[in-house]
């Protein structure tokens, strides 16, 4: 296996920013794209769409439950609606509406949550969403995605619009390290192997993909060859990529900015259990709520950095028989 070039953190746009820009492009491409927001358009970045297409932007005030069901009504009448708010509000306050008005009748609504995870920083736990992957994945028929950078976000937002059926996309507040070249192609449900390796596989999503790549570099220095997979789609899972990782590297670490209880890790573990059981470790938020702080301080305190992934990999590799 040839030596890899070391991954360097180069910040790109926030994934919420990429979402907002993608919406404008979608608006130009398809007149049926409609956007609803709940008084956070300047933060969710749907304000770009609102500015260019005011007649297709619906401000619904601070009322997320209503917004999710209005979105369903728009979709039932043939529109391709995107509803957006902070993940914490869209998913938690809109959950029942997403279940009964969207998932159960399989309505073509796109829900985009911004300010996901604890990396929003100073606003603290009431605004931090650490459970929405679990919630979204419990909505039958939903596609659930958590892209890593601006390139993948833009591509997957566009893929969501083209997909017929309900979609949830998780985006973040801070600038996100660039993982992909601008022309990289993405497919819903298709994991991307961003680094190859043979001793362990790190499966990550969102901001943790860049941390996983940094971890892989560190591990290489220790003689551990780590494969890194960006599992941007939490549902439907790329079962093939997971099973292949389990059978070829015999150890898996899942890293995500989400409660470990209900996130990507437990879903991956299910596939591993059903295919080729192997040692697994989980990097994520451990049954707690975070606090006010700078994003980096919080990511460090709550164990979501490259060094935490490295530690988890060492444990997983040590457990290999």
Partner 1 sequence: MKRPMHKSIEELQVIARRVRREIVEMIGAAKSGHPGGSLSAVEILVELYFNRMNIDPKNPKLPDRDRFILSKGHAAPVLYAVMAEAGYEQTPLDKLDTLRKMGSVYQGHPDMRYIPALEASTGSLGEGLSLALGMGFAARMDGRKSRTYVMMGDGEIQEGQVWEAAMAGAFHKLDNVVAIVDYNGIQLDGFVKDIMDVAPLADKWRAFGWHTIELDGHDLHAIDAAFTEAEATKGKPTCLVAHTVKGKGVSFMENNPKFHGTAPSADEVKLAMQELQ
Least distance to partner 1, CB of residue 97, Å:
6
Q: Which of 8, 52, 64, 131 is catalytic?
A: 64
What is the rounded distance in angstroms from the CA atom of residue 131 to the CA atom of residue 257?
9
* Straight-line distance from the first to the last Cα atom of the chain, in angstroms, rounded to the nearest whole number: 23
Number of residues that bind partner 1 (CB under 8 A): 30
Q: Could you say whether residue 79 binds partner 1 (CB under 8 A)?
A: yes
Q: From the list 9, 30, 54, 61, which residue makes contact with partner 1 (rule: CB under 8 A)?
A: 61
- Is residue 277 close enough to count as binding partner 1 by CB under 8 A? no
**Residue 238 token pair:** 């790329």
Q: Which is nearer to partner 1, 39 or 261 (CB)?
A: 39
Distance CA 249, CA 6 (A): 21
Instruction: Show contacts with partner 1 in window 8-37 (CB under 8 A).
Output: 34
Answer for which of 23, 26, 50, 70 binds partner 1 (CB under 8 A) is 70
Residue of 65, 194, 234, 266 interacting with partner 1 (CB under 8 A): 65
**Which strands form 233-235's sheet, in the order they lie side by side?**
57-59, 33-37, 80-86, 110-114, 167-170, 143-145, 233-235
Tell me how far CA of residue 110 lies from CA of 47, 65, 160, 225, 238, in angstroms.
17, 14, 7, 38, 21
Contact call for residues 45 and 114 (beta carbons, < 8 A): yes
64 catalytic per annotation: yes
Cβ burial of 54 (10 Å; 0-12, 13-18, 19+) is exposed
Strand ranges for the chain from DSSP E: 11-14, 33-37, 57-59, 80-86, 110-114, 143-145, 167-170, 175-177, 192-195, 200-204, 226-230, 233-235, 252-259, 280-285
Please state, in angstroms and rounded to a whole number, the distance separating the CA atoms of residues 101 and 109: 10
Closer to partner 1 by CB, 48 or 57: give it.
57
Out of 14, 24, 72, 90, the residue judged to bind partner 1 by CB under 8 A: 72
Region of residue 18 (phi > 0: left; psi between -120 and 50: alpha; otherwise: beta): alpha
Residue 54 engages partner 1 in binding (rule: CB under 8 A): no
Contact pattern for partner 1 over residues 105 through 144, marking x by CB under 8 A: xx--------------------------------------
- List the one residue from 4, 39, 63, 239 that touches partner 1 (CB under 8 A): 63
Largest distance between two CA atoms of the chain: 62
Tokens of 298: 């919080």
Choose the binding region for partner 1 from 52-60, 129-137, 289-297, 299-307 (rule: CB under 8 A): 52-60
Q: Which residue has the tokens 């209900």?
A: 262
Cβ closer to partner 1: 32 or 248? 32
Closer of 78 and 221 to partner 1 (Cβ):
78
Contact between 252 and partner 1 per CB under 8 A: no
Q: In the complex with partner 1, which residue's Cβ is closer, 71 or 174?
A: 71
Contact between 100 and partner 1 per CB under 8 A: yes
Catalytic center residues: 64
Site residues for partner 1 per CB under 8 A: 34, 55-56, 58, 60-61, 63, 65-66, 68-79, 81, 96-97, 99-101, 104-106
């Amino acid at each position: 296996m040839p030596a890899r070039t070391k991954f360097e953190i180069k910040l790109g746009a926030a994934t919420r920013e990429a979402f907002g820009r993608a919406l404008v492009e979608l608006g130009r491409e398809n007149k049926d794209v409609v956007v609803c927001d709940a008084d956070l358009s300047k933060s969710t970045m749907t304000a770009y769409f609102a500015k260019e297409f005011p007649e297709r932007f619906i401000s619904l005030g601070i009322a997320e439950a209503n917004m999710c069901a209005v979105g369903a009504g728009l979709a039932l009448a043939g529109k391709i609606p995107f509803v957006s708010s902070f993940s914490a509000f869209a998913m938690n306050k809109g959950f029942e509406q997403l279940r009964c008005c969207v998932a159960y009748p399989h309505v073509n609504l796109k829900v985009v949550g911004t300010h996901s995870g604890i990396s929003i920083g100073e606003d603290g736990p009431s605004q931090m969403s650490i459970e929405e992957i679990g919630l979204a994945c419990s909505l039958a028929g939903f596609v659930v995605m958590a892209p890593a950078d601006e390139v993948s976000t833009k591509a997957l937002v566009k893929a969501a619009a083209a997909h017929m059926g309900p979609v949830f996309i998780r985006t973040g507040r801070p600038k996100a390290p660039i993982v992909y070249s601008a022309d990289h192609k993405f497919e819903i449900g298709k994991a991307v192997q961003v680094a190859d390796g043979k001793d362990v596989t790190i499966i990550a999503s969102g901001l943790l993909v860049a941390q996983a790549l940094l971890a892989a570099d560190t591990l290489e220095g220790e003689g551990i060859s780590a494969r890194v997979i960006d599992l941007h789609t939490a549902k439907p899972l790329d079962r093939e990529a997971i099973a292949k990782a389990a059978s070829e590297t015999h150890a898996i670490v899942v890293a995500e900015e989400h409660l470990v209880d209900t996130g990507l890790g437990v879903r991956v573990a299910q596939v591993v259990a059903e295919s080729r059981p192997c040692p697994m470790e989980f990097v994520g938020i451990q049954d707690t709520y975070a606090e006010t702080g700078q994003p980096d301080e919080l990511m460090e305190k709550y164990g979501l950095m490259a060094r935490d992934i490295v530690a988890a990999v060492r444990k997983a590799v040590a457990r290999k028989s």
